[in-house]
Amino acid sequence: MISTYMQMIALLEISISAAVIFIWLLQKLVPGEITFAMRILLLFILGNLLFWPLGMSMQLPLAAYVRGVTGDLSLVTLLLLWSSILPKSKATPIGVKVAIGLIAILFYPAALGLGMTDPYAWGYGSLVLLIFVLIFAVICGLANWAKGVWILAFAIMAWSVHWHESSNLWDYVLDPFLAVWAIYSIFYALYRKRREKAQSGYLFRAG
């Protein structure tokens, strides 16, 4: 059932994700806040532009060209990205970003060929990896970030029903874009903290 619509679902996900990123960029460029209603309208228009074949010299919808580069995004990335468009969207805790960054730094070199141990292979059916993801989700909940519990639960569920082409749990909970975002966010947070500290030091420095 899912396999019949797998390609269409994937294109729809990419269309929505690309539209959300465009809205986020637009928000950075324009003064003032784009209202929620306007965001939804933009999402609808851009999502449709990306999803449907536009003809001309293109053989595929725009989303298919994006997908050629990005592949399918993890459920965690999709849901974090999409939830950012909602009003009163709670920011991801820095602790979660640090955890994602650390896992990515350990995971990718090993998964891409460093040594004979391949952690990516655990994603095909390792109970240990599943328990690890569940514990991570429980910690998110205990740290008062219920959104993280929902997102990881959806990701685990999607893997169970083979929602994407991948049958590997890692592809549902982590991708390189999520890793880059997490690591960038950590450094940006550190930079901001240092700047704030420097500014407060300047303000209160003895004359």
Contact call for residue 127 and another protein (CB under 8 A): yes
Q: Give the pair of three-digit tokens for residue 120.
A: 């990516």
CB of residue 134 to another protein, shortest distance in Å: 6
Q: Contact letters (x/-) for another protein, 41-70, by CB under 8 A?
A: ------------------xx---xx-xxxx
Contact call for residue 175 and another protein (CB under 8 A): yes
Angle among Cα 145, 134, 169 to the nearest 5 degrees reads: 115
Contact call for residue 95 and another protein (CB under 8 A): no
Contact call for residue 13 and another protein (CB under 8 A): no
Q: Contact letters (x/-) for another protein, 146-165, by CB under 8 A?
A: x--xx-xxx-xx-xxxx-xx
Rounded Cα distance between 104 and 119, Å, is 11
CB of residue 33 to another protein, shortest distance in Å: 25
Number of residues that bind another protein (CB under 8 A): 59
Kindly tell me which of 29 and 117 has the beta carbon lying closer to another protein.
117
Kindly tell me which of 25 and 180 has the beta carbon lying closer to another protein.
180
The region of 33-41, 83-91, 170-178, 182-190 touching another protein under the rule CB under 8 A is 170-178
CB of residue 185 to another protein, shortest distance in Å: 20
**CA end-to-end distance (rounded Å), the chain:** 73
Q: Return all residues near 60 (Cβ < 8 A) that are at least 6 apart.
A: 53
Kindly tell me which of 26 and 153 has the beta carbon lying closer to another protein.
153
Torsion of CA 28, 10, 74, 126, to 10 degrees: 180
- Give the interface with another protein as residue ranges (CB under 8 A): 7-8, 10-11, 59-60, 64-65, 67-71, 107-108, 111-118, 120-121, 123-127, 130, 134, 137-138, 141, 144, 146, 149-150, 152-154, 156-157, 159-162, 164-171, 174-176
